[in-house]
Amino acid sequence: MGKGSGASIRGQILTRIAPDAFGDLVKGRRIVAVSGTNGKTTTTHFVASALREALGPDAGRLVHNADGANLHYGIASALAKAPRADVAVLETDERVVADLLAKGRPEVLVLLNFSRDQLDRNHEIKFLGRDWRSALDRAGADGPVVIANADDPLVTWAAEKAPKVVWVSTATTWNADAAMCPACGAMLTRASASDGTSTWDCPSCELTQHDADYVVRDGFIRLPDGTAIDPQLNVPGVFNIANAAMALAAVAELGVDAETALRGFRSVKAPAGRFSVATIGGSSYRLILSKNPAGWAESLPLLTTDPCVLMIDSVAADGKDVSWLWDVEFEQLRGRRVVASGPRAYDLAVRLTYAEVEHSVIPDLTEALGAATGPGTVDVIATYTPFQKLLKMGGLR
């Protein structure tokens, strides 16, 4: 019907016919799972590409839910298509982590971050962190090696129940969702560094930021042996260097050296359409997906064009609550022409007005793109639903 990749509907039919399909399909494989609010898709693409590079002629042993369908349906769908693949790289929704730990026993679990996302579905993010912590506690000594973002207090609290943790300092600057200690509720203290990063500590209990095994600084990744490497990625943004550091730590646990891993990483250019360039209506657009305030904070500095287009929707896949718009620093777009589009374009327009950003409001996606043509490629940031529509309009899906 041309509605999408078919991954979710295929998984829904599969699990109707075989209700235990998810549990049956994750058994008996070496699994690397990746979860967190931001960066799951790109990080799993990094991990999968590195493992394929290492496997060489045996790369067919690997299965990966590459299209980002990360709920039970999507994971079951991907695994069912590769019944003989004994290595699985699984992008995993935050709410599926506990089930995957119980039924699939992943060898490595990458925990990226927590930020407010789809509040109507996920509610307070501490609930998700508590689920991760409890699931790791139940797994005990048989639990996975956890690759954990040391800059995130909630990830740290959850990961401490794992039998082994590899800590990664990701140079995260977004900390608006991490003001209070997840263990005791006290206000966290932060010590700022000259490079704009900070370290956190709870003054009321033992929870504190761990020393990192891998460190992201100034565009480089420092390995546990002290070597600093330039990843030279083909996807933009400091946040993707952080994703690469997490992926590097993950594949190292499976015996993949950094040089081999980086060759794989550099083959990743537009994971599931992110950062792809599409031709729509005769003009060229670079498509950037951002779904929550932390994602928008990382994506806005990537905008290089004038004009640029921002697209907002609030159906189930986007999250119905768009109050997060007020947490994003749109003020950095002052002096640039912005086209606000999508079904919630007027909500965005109010925020841009308060930010004193010159803008026009064109809810229709096609008309908005037509109003934002330029001599070169125009940057577009969109939430999930309009992003998927853009991929289809550009023939990329």
- Residues marked active site are found at 321
Rounded Cα gap, residues 143 and 138, in angstroms:
8
Q: Is 205 within any annotated ligand binding site?
A: yes
Rounded alpha-carbon distances, angstroms, from residue 177 to 114, 145, 165? 8, 25, 22
> What are the structure tokens assigned to 182, written together?
């997840």
Choose among 193, 242, 248: nearest CA to 219. 242
> What are the structure tokens assigned to 291, written together?
């779904």
Rounded Cα gap, residues 166 and 159, in angstroms:
10
Q: Which amino acid is at 230?
A: D
DSSP code at position 212:
P
Strands 338-341 and 62-64: unpaired
Which residues are paired to 208 by β-bridges?
201
Rounded Cα gap, residues 179 and 12, in angstroms:
39
Q: Is 308 within any annotated ligand binding site?
A: no
Q: Are 299 and 174 in contact (CB under 8 A)?
A: no
Q: Are 36 and 149 in contact (CB under 8 A)?
A: yes
Rounded Cα gap, residues 163 and 173, in angstroms:
28
Strand, coil or helix: 231? coil
Rounded Cα gap, residues 246 and 217, in angstroms:
14
> What are the structure tokens assigned to 114, written together?
């927590």
Q: Are 280 and 371 in contact (CB under 8 A)?
A: no
> What are the structure tokens assigned to 346, written together?
């007027």
**Which residues carry a binding-site annotation?**
181, 184, 202, 205
**Which residues carry a binding-site annotation for Zn(2+)?**
181, 184, 202, 205
